[in-house]
Amino acid sequence: MVCGRRVHEGETGRGEIAASGSQALLRRARTRRIRGFFGSVTETQVQIACLDLEGVLVPEIWIEFSKRAGIPDLARTTRDEPDYDKLMRGRLDILAAHGLGLPDIQAVIAGMEPLPGAVAFLDWLRARHPVVILSDTFYEFATPLMKKLGYPTLFCHRLEVAPDGKLTNYEIRLPDHKRRTVAALRLLNFRTIAAGDSYNDAGMLAEADAGILFRPPVNVMRDFPQFPVAPGYDELKALCAEAAARLAPLTAQ
């Protein structure tokens, strides 16, 4: 059938014309440009930005809690330890040894604010691209900070908490979830610009079409020299804009 009616043998000419017209419409639809929020790119190649949370938009939660609790060993982060499971097991053991739990950490988080300039940068970026925050923090930690950032989309993990508030375990949303999320976005025909600061961001940055290190420590810069480095938000804006222009397959007509 063509356009809702069956094509008989004597009508093949008209049927071919109708089919040809339908194909032309489909081609035009596939190459229609989206402007403004999505930039000037084809529908099948929208750009998306993926950002780490701690160290990029907010301070490191465990460092802040370490200072408040007076426990230096809790200041270790993914900037220091690439093995996330080893890092988290150590944290849980330290908390248990000191009799500390989720309410103690949440009390510190409640007084935390985004990094200076982070909200303005995030607003700038969201005006240009869809944005997803990919973090190895936990929803139980991050929810109050999301309000202060304007409720961006956040993918992270969950904690197992006993009735008395003690942390008993943690549940990974997906192993290697940052890199695998970027890979999944590619299958959905997104082109990705990603920014992070730690060892656990390296897979995400490598998987992205454009990976950027934001204020990384010297050891991370040394181990991943292939990524450009932004020491501040102005430089991060410039690198994101440069990546967006390079990745755009078409210019506006």
Whether 27 and 103 have beta carbons less than 8 Å apart is answered as no
pLDDT in tens, 216-233: 999 999 999 999 999 999
- Mean pLDDT across 180-202: 96
Three-state SS for 212? Answer: strand
- Mean pLDDT across 138-153: 94
In DSSP notation, 44-100 reads GGEEEEEE-SBTTTB--HHHHHHHHHT-GGGG--TTT-S-HHHHHHHHHHHHHHHT-
> Among 2-6, 133-137, 208-212, 218-222, which stretch is predicted with the lowest mean pLDDT?
2-6
pLDDT in tens, 62-80: 999 999 999 999 999 888 8
Burial of 244 (0-12, 13-18, 19+ CB in 10 A): buried
Rounded to the nearest 5 degrees, what angle is found at the Cα of 103, between the Cα atoms of 100 and 105?
Answer: 70
Mean pLDDT score of the chain, rounded to an integer? Answer: 85
Q: At 214, which amino acid appears?
A: F
Helix H or strand E encompassing 108: helix 102-109
| Euclidean distance between CA atoms 253 and 40, whole angstroms | 9
Which structure tokens are listed for 61? 């939660």
- Mean pLDDT across 105-128: 96
Residues 6+ positions from 50 with CB-CB distance below 8 Å: 131, 132, 133, 134, 178, 181, 182, 185, 192, 193, 194, 195, 204, 208
Topology annotation, domain 38-247: thrh gene product, domain 2 (3.90.1470)
pLDDT confidence of residue 4: 39
Whether 14 and 158 have beta carbons less than 8 Å apart is answered as no
Query: Does the structure show a pLDDT above 60 at 9?
Result: no
Q: Is 52 a catalytic residue?
A: yes
Query: Does the structure show a pLDDT above 70 at 38?
Result: no
Q: Is 176 a catalytic residue?
A: no
Domain boundaries, the chain: 38-247
Which structure tokens are listed for 174? 């997906």
Residues 6+ positions from 235 with CB-CB distance below 8 Å: none
| Catalytic residue of the set 11, 16, 52, 242 | 52
Whether 20 and 12 have beta carbons less than 8 Å apart is answered as no
| Catalytic residue of the set 16, 54, 136, 140 | 54
Helix H or strand E encompassing 8: none
pTM as predicted: 0.78
